Structures are given as structure tokens and as C-alpha cells.
Amino acid sequence: MVRPLYCDKLGMRKGSWNEEDDAQMLAFVTKQPTGNWQVGAPRKPGLRRCGKSCRIRKTNVLRNDHVRHESFTPQEEELIIKLHSAIGSRWPIIAQQLPGRTDNDVKNYWNTKLKKKLSAMGIDPVTHRPFSQMLADYGNISGLTRTQTRIGSLNQNNNNKININNNNNTFFVSNQEIQQIPETFFPNFNNSVKTEPPEAIKTDSLDLLTQLQAITHVKDPSTNPDLSLTQFHVSLASSSSSSSSTCSGTLNETTPQQSFNWRDFLIENSQDVNGNVNDEGFEAMGGIEVVKDDTPLMSCVKESGEEGSFVEAMLDGENDMLLDFPGLLGEPVYY
DNA sequence: AAACTTGCCAACCGCTCCACT
DNA sequence: TAGTGGAGCGGTTGGCAAGTT
């Protein structure tokens, strides 16, 4: 079935609106009791805009409460990031929390500024997780198919280690950077973007109640301490001369587990099927340290040895992926 | 001063959902 | 119950203005 192009029927006009268009639209086009937009060439020849175009114009630009055209405030930025972290790109819901802003406003601001800002901070704007952890995730995913050979490879060839924590390395994620950049951008940020939303609201199919809970929490974390997004920091170990290759330290057992997904991640990914500690992921990261209120709760550093560059590690990772999926090496397939 | 780049934002496109028949 | 069409949404595009070279 071939769908008609957007407003491409009956000679409908497209493109920018002028004041005359707005005046005609507001004068002759209203939302009918049925909910439909009664507009179009047969009803108002002078205007020649389709109903959908009118609806978008009215909801995005001519809304009665759409009066704010000044820049987003740091508080608004923070709220958008937190809500996006909690409920994803549900712009209408996010915009409801920002009086005077439309979903299009928020979406545009996110796409043009906030995504770049988060990326510059070393945070993936889609998952709100540090790129460094995503690298570790990749290492774990890649290792699922042939963990033993991967570990062996890593142990035999130190160049395969991703060297993130070396102070001489230019890779953007360092202990200093990841701790300081959020405060540089958002003085009141309290590091929430370093953590994941609680499991209770981290789901692909959030119902309305859950979304409201997420919004309520994000706007006022004190109302629900059990759902805190901001209790922990996860920082990269800064020492490149550490000699331990096993995880050590003490986890605060009084902390609600629900509030700390990083810990779940670290624990889950440090054990093999038999429950034994497997520090491969941490080695790949170059070491991880979990800190709360400047108190180390858990640290994990890698063995000393020859350091490789981040680019080399990425290339080695690509080689690993090609070994896992040999089909990628073949000739292109045309259908 | 002209060409080029960048950022902003309104508008468009295509999809899913849902109400209605 | 299936078909139809409008509403709503997320992602993307394109035009314009400001800034830079």
C-alpha cells in the first residue's frame, strides 16, 4: 500500500508559515467537537494547508502557553537530562514538566545541545552511561562466546588491554574528568547522570503510573529515598602501578540494592557461572573504584604491565568482533 | 566583503495507536 | 472483527541568522 505523501494532496501548501497564514488558520480552523481539524482546500481555499500541518503549527508555535523563547536554564537542562534518563525520549511527558516549553522545544534542545554536551562529558546520551562502561559491556558481550580464549588472549598480550586509567593517555574518560566534568557543566548536578535509573523504572514499557513515579522522583528525590538515582559514584582507578587483579573492598550492605545498579553490574560481571570472581571486565577497564561520599566501597584494579593505547584497544576489539562474526569478513551479499 | 560554518528551530515525514464505522 | 482515517509521537530535514574565516 502506497501511503500519500505528507499534505501532498489537493494542492496543499508546505513550508514556512507567515502571519497571514496564522491569522487565517486561527480564524477559520478550530478543533471540531469530534476532535478533527476542519481545514483544507475545499473548506478554506485561501489557506490551502492540510489539517495535520495546522495542528502542528498550532500545537508547536501558537499554543496559548507557548510564550517562552529564551534559552533553557541550567535547572531545565538538569531536569530534561534526568527525565530522559528515567523515561527516555517521551518528549510530551518531559515538556509537561517544563511550563511554556513544547515537546518540540525540548526535543530540539536535546538534539542540538544536550546530546553534544553529554557526549563531551563522556556519557552516552542514549543510555546515560559512561562510554567507559559501555566498552566494558562490549568486552563482556564479546567474551560470552569464547570467554576462555579471550581471557587467555588478554593475559598473553597486554596490548589487548584497554588502558583508560593511564594518566598519560589522552582518552577522554579519566578519573579526574569523569568526577569533575558534570560539576563544571551543572553546579547542582549531583552526579545523577553517572548512574542508571532504578530497576523499578528502567523498563522499555513504562506505564503511566511508573512514568509519574519517575518524574516525581527526578523532580524531588527526597520524596522517595529508596529510589535514589544519585547515591554512588563509579570512578576509574587512577593508579597504573597497581598489582592486584582481583576485586577487593567492602560493599555497604545497608544500602538499598535497588538504588545502585552499578554495583549489580560490577558484581554480576565479576562472577562466572560458578560464582567465581572473573575480573576480566575490570582488567579491560583498567580498574574500577566505587565511591560513596569519598569513601571507597569497592575497588578493582588490573595487573601492572605494558600499556597499550585506546585506539589499539579499539582496533583489537574490532578484530575480536570479526573473529566472533566471521561473516563480516566475507564478500558483500546483495539481495 | 564574500564564502563558509555553525546553531537554532519550525516544519516535515513516517510510523503506531486508537476511535469509529 | 476488519478496515479506515485522524491524532500523536519520535526522528529528521531545511531555512535562516549569526558567527567565523
- 3-class SS of residue A3: coil
Give the single-character DSSP code of A117. H
Question: Residue A175 and residue A8: Cα distance in Å, rounded?
Answer: 54
- How many residues would you count in chain A? 335
Looking at every residue in chain A, the average pLDDT score rounds to 52
Q: Which three cell numbers stand for residue A111?
A: 538534539
For residue A127, pLDDT over 60 is answered with yes
Question: Residue A224 and residue A230: Cα distance in Å, rounded?
Answer: 12
Asked whether residue A3's C-beta has any atom of DNA/RNA strand B within 7 A, the reply is yes
Asked whether residue A16's C-beta has any atom of DNA/RNA strand C within 7 A, the reply is yes
More confident residue, A114 or A176: A114
In chain A, the N- to C-terminal Cα span, in Å, equals 22
Asked whether residue A132's C-beta has any atom of DNA/RNA strand B within 7 A, the reply is no
SS (H, E, C) A118-177: HHHCCECCCCCCEHHHHHHHHHHHHHCCCHHHHHHHHHHCHHHCCCCCCCCCCCCCCHHH
Interior/surface letters A260-273, b for 16+ CB within 10 angstroms, e for the rest: bbbbebbeebbeee
Please report, rounded to whole angstroms, the spatial distance between the CA atom of protein residue A32 and the C1' atom of nucleotide B19: 15
> Tell me: the pLDDT tens digits for A10-46?
567 777 777 777 777 776 655 555 555 554 333 444 7
Looking across all nucleic acid strands, the nucleotide with the smallest C1' to CA distance from residue A40 is: C6
Please report, rounded to whole angstroms, the spatial distance between the CA atom of protein residue A315 and the C1' atom of nucleotide C20: 36
Sheet with A287-292, side-by-side order of all strands: A233-236, A287-292, A295-301, A248-249
Q: Give the lowest-confidence range in A7-11, A59-63, A323-327.
A: A323-327
Asked whether residue A55's C-beta has any atom of DNA/RNA strand C within 7 A, the reply is yes
Question: Residue A91 and residue A7: Cα distance in Å, rounded?
Answer: 24
User: What percentage of chain A carries pLDDT values higher than 90?
Assistant: 0
Looking across all nucleic acid strands, the nucleotide with the smallest C1' to CA distance from residue A3 is: B14
**A184: amino acid identity, one letter:** T
Residue limits of CATH 1.10.10.60 in chain A: 72-120+197-225
Interior/surface letters A81-94, b for 16+ CB within 10 angstroms, e for the rest: bbbbbbbbebbebb
Strand partners, A289: A235, A299
Highest mean pLDDT among A167-171, A196-200, A222-226, A241-245: A222-226
> Tell me: the pLDDT tens digits for A53-65?
777 777 776 665 5
What is the pLDDT averaged over residues A157-184?
Answer: 31
Give strand C nucleotides closer than 7 A to any protein Cβ: 6-13, 15-16
Looking across all nucleic acid strands, the nucleotide with the smallest C1' to CA distance from residue A38 is: C6
Nearest to A65 by CA among A101, A31, A93: A101
Please report, rounded to whole angstroms, the spatial distance between the CA atom of protein residue A323 and the C1' atom of nucleotide C10: 36
Pick the CATH number of A72-120+197-225 from 3.30.590.20, 3.30.70.100, 1.10.10.60, 3.40.50.720: 1.10.10.60
More confident residue, A222 or A283: A222
For residue A207, pLDDT over 70 is answered with no
Give strand B nucleotides closer than 7 A to any protein Cβ: 7-15
Q: Which three cell numbers stand for residue A157?
A: 598480550
Question: Residue A119 and residue A72: Cα distance in Å, rounded?
Answer: 19
Asked whether residue A275's C-beta has any atom of DNA/RNA strand B within 7 A, the reply is no
Please report, rounded to whole angstroms, the spatial distance between the CA atom of protein residue A102 and the C1' atom of nucleotide C4: 30
Measuring alpha carbon to C1', the residue closest to nucleotide C5 is A36
Question: Residue A197 and residue A193: Cα distance in Å, rounded?
Answer: 9
A2 Cβ contact partners less than 8 Å away, ≥ 6 residues apart: none
Give the pLDDT of residue A32.
56
Question: Residue A137 and residue A134: Cα distance in Å, rounded?
Answer: 5
**A20: amino acid identity, one letter:** E
Asked whether residue A211's C-beta has any atom of DNA/RNA strand C within 7 A, the reply is no
Give the pLDDT of residue A289.
38
Asked whether residue A109's C-beta has any atom of DNA/RNA strand B within 7 A, the reply is yes
Highest mean pLDDT among A7-21, A101-115, A121-135, A235-249: A101-115
Question: Residue A180 and residue A121: Cα distance in Å, rounded?
Answer: 9
